[in-house]
Amino acid sequence: MKYSSVTEKFLLELTPEQKWELICGGVRDDGESADVALLLGTRPEIAAERALAAAELYRQGRVKYIVPSGGVKWDVGNGEMQSEAEYMSAILIREGVPPSAIIIENEATTTKENMIYGALQINRKTKFYGDKRVIIVTSQSHMKRSIALAKTFLPRMVRVSAYPSFPAETREEWLKNEENLRLLDSFIHLTKGLVDHGIIEDEELNI
């Protein structure tokens, strides 16, 4: 069965664990290095988790540059509004990543735009002359869809790797949260919509 064949009846019959596998299954760090990591923005508490993962990737010496991407502004405390990219950049610097290694992308408002505007910033810095790999840093539950969009909207010669940030909770704890369960359903619908519109490739469901 492929994503294009998913129906509401099919989703209703899935357990939370099966939905998790549908969205997160097969997401792994492949251990590769690259010139650039593209760090995808979101609301502050999740963006912080992703930024810490990107900082760890830099400390491992596996990337030269990090592109925090996201132009949506959030209240990050005391009424201060910052874009996702600015907020994540501040965390990266606090975690020891030098400002010279950070390339802020402050325009994107969707995952698709993360790839498009991120590619523009990467091109301006490296022109894709060196290593042709980009490591996507985002939440585990966001990664499969992000990788699919990266393969569509980054330059075709670019190889794409994943470095997922994991929630503080275990999978079992995460799946006990009703909001997270609704997110899984939302992510499945979003992915199916992208497949149905021909934006990303259809795939076999391994559940």
- Residue range 177-198, pLDDT digits in tens: 999 999 999 999 999 999 999 9
pLDDT per position as a tens digit, 119-169 = 999 999 999 998 899 999 999 999 999 999 999 999 999 999 999 997 777
Helices 178-196 & 140-153 angle (0-180, nearest 10): 20
- Sheet containing 133-139: give its strands across: 63-69, 34-40, 133-139, 159-165
Domain total of the chain: 1
Q: Which of 43, 48, 23 is nearest to 182 (CA)?
A: 23
Return the ∠ at Cα 207 (arms to 196 and 176), rounded to 5°: 100
Q: Is residue 76 part of a domain?
A: yes
> Mean pLDDT of all residues in the chain?
93
**Within a domain: residue 188?**
no
Range of the domain at 119: 27-167
Domain membership of residue 12 (yes or no) is no
Q: Residues 22-43: what's their mean pLDDT?
A: 93
Q: Which two tokens stand for residue 41?
A: 């923005």
Per the CB < 8 A criterion, the answer to whether 20 and 171 are in contact is yes
Residue 118 within a domain: yes
**Percent of the chain predicted with pLDDT > 90:** 80
Q: How confident is the model at residue 174 (pLDDT cuts 50, 70, 90)?
A: confident
Contact 207, 14 (CB under 8 A): yes
**Residue 81 counted as domain residue:** yes
Is 22 contained in some domain?
no
Per residue in 113-130, pLDDT tens? 999 999 999 999 999 998
Tell me if 11 is assigned to some domain.
Answer: no
pLDDT-based confidence at 80, cuts 50/70/90?
confident
Q: Considering the domain boundaries, does residue 104 fall inside one?
A: yes
Residue 204's pLDDT is what? 86
Pairing of strands 81-83, 73-75: antiparallel
> 84-87 long-range contacts, Cβ below 8 Å, gap at least 24?
84/41, 84/42, 84/47, 85/41, 87/41, 87/44, 87/47, 87/48, 87/51
Report pLDDT for 131.
Answer: 84
CATH of the domain at 61: 3.40.50.620
